[in-house]
Amino acid sequence: MSRGSFLIAAGMLLGAAVHAAQVGLIKIDGAIGPATASYIARALDVAAAQSDECLILQLDTPGGLVDSASKIVGSFYAAKIPTVVYVAPAPARAGSAGVFITMAADVAVMAPHTRIGAAHPVELGAAGGVEKTDDVMKRKMENDTASFAESIAQKRNRNVAWAKAAVIESVSITAEDALDKNVIDLIADDLPDLLKQLDGHKFDRRTLHTENARIVEIPMNPWEHFSQLFLRPEVMFILMLMVIYGIIGELSSPGAILPGVVGAIALILVLYMSAILPVNVTGLVLIGLAVLLFVVDVFSPTHGILTAGGILAFFLGALMLFSQGGPGFGLSLRWIIPATVLTAFFFIFVVGKGVRAQLKPATTGREAMIGKIVNAQSRIDSAGGKVFIEGELWNAVSAIPVEAGQAVEIAGLVGLTLQVKPKNKK
């Protein structure tokens, strides 16, 4: 092969290699949670397996759970390929947990007119204990989260002072300010512009070739889609209501079966979710207390005093239930208020009427015959006789003889024999 032919062939091979280059892309739009962390970890493995130049995470989030963000940061550190977080499109933001994720990437990029910051941890509710103790807990949370942000900034050679201020002071800045303050590395108008600017970047003796790279999006799998929708405070709250309504409904109407089965299944799911989502134990206790007050008031009417206390306890419990969750993982009043009203209605009208109906004297059956007045069909004495009641002839005995046609009152029932006495006679 001549030298010219060799150069042509080498050029063709080089062109094919450049043309074959690709980058992975995932898009996160919403709160950061367990499903997000799992999705990103899998996407990194997929992108590495298909020899992508890098993985781009296009981000727009109000924040989320710090624990989930910590797992994502760990996945970035352990990644086998370079990671790029791109806060886009405008007016996207990287808020709260999104700050840690953005700064932990090998390359942090934002689109023009986007923003980053406000990473202050969510405060514990004041009902969690004495005010002094609560303040100590808040400071511990702040210091721990600030140290987490500082460690990320130090590892990626970014602005450590700003990272700390984003947590302690909840500062937030625009993309342009973030570039000036060394919070991010680049500003890119769109994905093609980002690929062009990434081209030539070096990571651990590896140079990126992204300018003409093909973008391959890595979608969520069905389980990740389901988890994203399922592992939510709203879903867990609805399941908790199903547990309450199902089990209490079964107890107030024995034999219905379906409410009990639904309640039991919902209870298992709630226990599973409570181990993943940031549930406030105080909120759970208040909701349990509310149910107890509702039930007690049904069996021992207190003119609504306990029911009023139950309504207040349920409302406060629901308000505190996810008070430790990050942005996007709270429970809004548009869920809490209707649920409180519905639960109060359920116990006052549905359960209350069901229980009281069970406590009423029997109106049908053998016990319902006691006290009724009928006419003797034949002479009745201690040896026996007949009466006609409930469409049937019954054997009857009477300590005082009764003639046929005389009115008698049913005083008791022994086996299949009625005990009667003459009407108006003692």
How far is it, in rounded angstroms, from Cα 55 to Cα 23? 6
pLDDT of residue 127: 38
Are 76 and 94 contained in the same domain? yes
Q: Please count the residues of the chain.
A: 426
| Residue 215 shares a structural domain with residue 85 | yes
Structural domains in the chain (count): 3
Domain membership of residue 343 as a residue range: 232-359
Q: Is the domain of 153 the same as that of 216?
A: yes
For residue 380, what pLDDT is reported?
84
Higher pLDDT, 215 or 333: 215
pLDDT at residue number 190: 95
pLDDT digits (tens, 9 = 90+) for 254-277: 666 777 788 889 889 888 888 778
Greatest C-alpha distance within the chain:
136
Q: Check whether residue 43 and residue 160 sit in a common domain.
A: yes
The more confidently predicted of residues 255 and 356 is 255
422: pLDDT confidence band, cut at 50, 70 and 90?
Answer: confident
Can you give the pLDDT at residue 399?
A: 84
Contact assessment for residue 87 and residue 175, using Cβ atoms and an 8 Å cutoff: yes
CATH number of the structural domain spanning residue 381: 2.40.50.140
Q: What is the mean pLDDT of residues 368-394?
A: 81
Q: What is the per-residue pLDDT for 255?
A: 61
- Mean pLDDT over 299-320 rounds to 81
Q: Is 331 left (phi over 0), alpha (psi -120 to 50) or beta?
A: beta
The CATH number assigned to the domain holding 171 equals 3.90.226.10
Q: Which two tokens stand for residue 370?
A: 């006691």
Q: Is the same domain home to 219 and 73?
A: yes
- Give the pLDDT confidence of 60-75 residue by residue, as tens digits: 999 888 889 999 999 9
Per-residue pLDDT at 374? 86
The residue among 340, 359, 378 that closes a domain is 359
Which pLDDT does position 292 carry in this prediction?
85
Q: Which of 314, 339, 359 is the last residue of a domain?
A: 359
Same domain, 186 and 303: no
The answer on 216 and 139 residing in a single domain is yes
Q: Which of 226, 242, 257 is the last residue of a domain?
A: 226
pLDDT in tens, 90-135: 999 999 999 999 999 999 999 999 999 998 876 433 334 434 445 6
Residues 301 and 191 in one domain: no
349, 239: one domain = yes
- β-strand partners of 187: 110
| Burial class for 294, CB neighbours closer than 10 Å (0-12, 13-18, 19+) | buried
Is the same domain home to 293 and 381?
no
List the single range of 11-25, 171-185, 238-252 with lowest mean pLDDT.
11-25
Q: Are residues 321 and 371 in the same domain?
A: no
194, 267: one domain: no
Is the full-model pTM beyond 0.75? no
